[in-house]
Structure 1
Amino acid sequence: MSRSQKIVRNLVIFLGLCLLFITQTALYLTPLSAHEHSERSLLYGPSEVVHVEDFDEGKYILAKYDRWYSCNSVERTLGLFWRSGGGSIGTENDKTKAVAFSWSASYEHCVAYGIINDDRVKRIELTLSNGQVLTQTKFYDRMFLILWTDKNNNNYFEKLIGYDASDKVIFESELP
């Protein structure tokens, strides 16, 4: 076997092993492919991706599927690959509420997300347990995503309020 044939053979073996490694460890080359695989593995979706937001360890993917809304995290790993971080299964949208929402925390990363069912809601305010207020007025296809970090594990979600254009309270909810 010539030198060039050995190089080609070794390259094919190496690429085959890389492909086997990637498929068996649930690693993907793009954040959206990690998200899609995560949904498929749970027999959920495929959802419509509404918004993608960066955070220091990956991305949050805000999505809708049928009657559900979700916020899936995908994390960068090994510098080049992506894997699902959790949250693929959605929460059913309770259309009787002006704002349907959920929240989660993983290590120091916290996220509140939801869908606005009442068109009068123009601003969402999230109050944290330390009194800090986070506000969002930019929505993504009637959905919102509010991120915060909690390095001390003591600054959680306390209250969510939806206001109309004249600052009248349309929706208010304590910790779900």
Structure 2
Amino acid sequence: MAGSPTQEGIEIRLELPNARQILEAFEKAPEIVVEELGAATWEGSLLIQREVVERTPRGVGAGGGLAGSIQARDPQIAPGLVRGEVGTALSYAVPVELGTRPHFPPIEPLQLWAQHKLGLSEVEAESAAYAIARKIKAHGSQGVHMFAEGFAATEEQLRTFYARAGERAVERIGQAGGGQ
């Protein structure tokens, strides 16, 4: 497993022991391999989604804030590439994941958080929000690492999903006489 930040977020690569076998099967019957890997990728993406959401701080609102916005996306499959994505469109996901350097954050989200999470009145919440903002200004914030830890928690299961998908594809191709 390797992880690296990208423009869109964090990219994590999973190396498979039967990758050569899967590529050879793709050359014989790509539609079978795409079907099997697509199913494995979707199942793996949903598993990662669950693990990431469980590790994500709960926000305000009926939608669950950041946790409620995290979704698996349709898999992309091509020769030598299988891509599953789990992510969010919310701009503050990366700072929550990785942490921040010292800066003065906006007060309103902190105030809403203090009202809903701590049960404070509007005046008390504003005071708490400024105190939190001053601490972030002085020290930054620590990352939660919900995506990295969610992936790490599922890595072995993902390897199993893909190994089995490759085996099923090879078996189906053999049953079909080398292709469909």
Q: TM-score, normalised by structure 2?
A: 0.26
- Greater relative contact order, per chain length (Cα 8 Å cut-off, separation 6+): 2
Q: TM-score, normalised by structure 1?
A: 0.27
Per residue, is there more helix in 1 or in 2? 2
